[in-house]
Amino acid sequence: MPIFTGAAVAIVTPMYADGKINYDKLEEILEYQIANGTDAIVICGTTGESSTLTHGEHLKAIHFTVEKVAKRVPVIAGTGSNCTETAIMLSTEAASYGADALLLVTPYYNKATQKGLIAHFTAVAESVPNTPVILYNVPSRTGCNLEPETVAYMAKNVENIKGLKAASGNLSQIARTMYLADGNLELYSGNDDQVLPILSLGGLGVISVLSNVAPKETHDMVDRFLKGDTKGAAELQLRAIPLINALFSEVNPIPVKAAMNMMGFEVGPLRMPLTEMEPAHQEVLKKAMVDFGIKVK
């Protein structure tokens, strides 16, 4: 069985005005997501501001989410790091809490070679042999690209490396990756504007920012495609494009937190160095949300 099929939300980390994590609000958002058809929860990913959480906060958020979701949908914990030892520590702890899978971003800043990436991911995966691993390739953020040959090698040779969150934006590279993996890889879109193209290459779903504000529609987009309604799926994908563009008009998760605050979720501020969304971009975002049918304050 795959880790999940459908739409997984890359969930925000709600915070109080003083920057501390608001766990009551996190529970509310988790319940909202599950009630609206989200197929899996990704906690402490990029959208969750994992890079500015302390290790203690990071692990507490994962533990809290696993407990509150209680196996109703899979919980995928972001436990990647540019330090292999740190990634192993976060991964082994998350696995011990009962996380259903781990999401491991490519090491950022170090700019490892492909050989180094294989060594890094293999070491982390082997530290949690009973927990599936999804590799996360987002070179625009990390300065490091997972080449198709590298992904295919690990998918075939490391037993619990099961999936790839593909956020390179390069559909030709993704197609080559799936060709080389030869059926040994679960593929998930990491870009909300490329869900259908990636599904058409054998993808099983999306790990989505859009799902924070439109969980039902994102779920339905994937569900329609997988059930053969490509026309209906394409209609949803195209209708969502202005909203997706607005959600990425500034670096993620600045706009999605602004959007959730507009919806009345009160997810609070961002941690520096991220700052609040520019007023002009907020107006564009608000219009895109209203046009999509989302109620805003």
Question: What is the span of the domain harbouring residue 220?
Answer: 6-227
Q: Is residue 276 part of a domain?
A: no
Counted domains in the chain: 1
Nearest to 207 by CA among 99, 85, 57, 101: 101
Q: Is residue 146 part of a domain?
A: yes
User: Would you call 97 a catalytic residue per the annotation?
Assistant: no
Q: What is the CATH number of the domain that holds 196?
A: 3.20.20.70
Q: Phi then psi for 40, rounded to 5 degrees? A: -165, 155
pLDDT per residue as tens digits for the range 53-112:
999 999 999 999 999 999 999 999 999 999 999 999 999 999 999 999 999 999 999 999
Q: Is residue 30 part of a domain?
A: yes
Q: Is residue 217 part of a domain?
A: yes
pLDDT tops 90 at residue 128: yes
Mean pLDDT of 16-20: 96
Q: Where are the beta strands (DSSP E) in 82-178?
A: 101-105, 133-137, 161-166
Q: Is residue 234 part of a domain?
A: no
**What percent of the chain lies above the pLDDT cut of 90?**
99
> By the 8 A CB rule, do 166 and 187 touch?
yes
pLDDT tops 90 at residue 51: yes
> b/e for 193-204, b at 16 or more Cβ within 10 A?
bbbbebbebbbb
Mean pLDDT of 160-164: 98
**One-character DSSP codes across 42-81:** EESSTTTTGGGS-HHHHHHHHHHHHHHHTTSS-EEEE---
Mean pLDDT of 265-293: 97
Q: How many CB atoms lie within 10 A of CB 180?
A: 18
Positive or negative torsion for Cα 74, 39, 242, 173: positive
Mean pLDDT of 239-249: 98
pLDDT tops 90 at residue 41: yes
Mean pLDDT of 235-239: 98
User: Would you call 165 a catalytic residue per the annotation?
Assistant: yes
Split at pLDDT 50, 70, 90, the class of 297 is confident
Of 136, 153, 188, 257, the active-site residue reads 136
Q: Is residue 17 part of a domain?
A: yes
pTM of the model: 0.97
Of 25, 162, 165, 257, the active-site residue reads 165
pLDDT of amino acid 173: 98
pLDDT tops 90 at residue 169: yes
Residues 6+ apart with CB under 8 A from 130: 95, 160
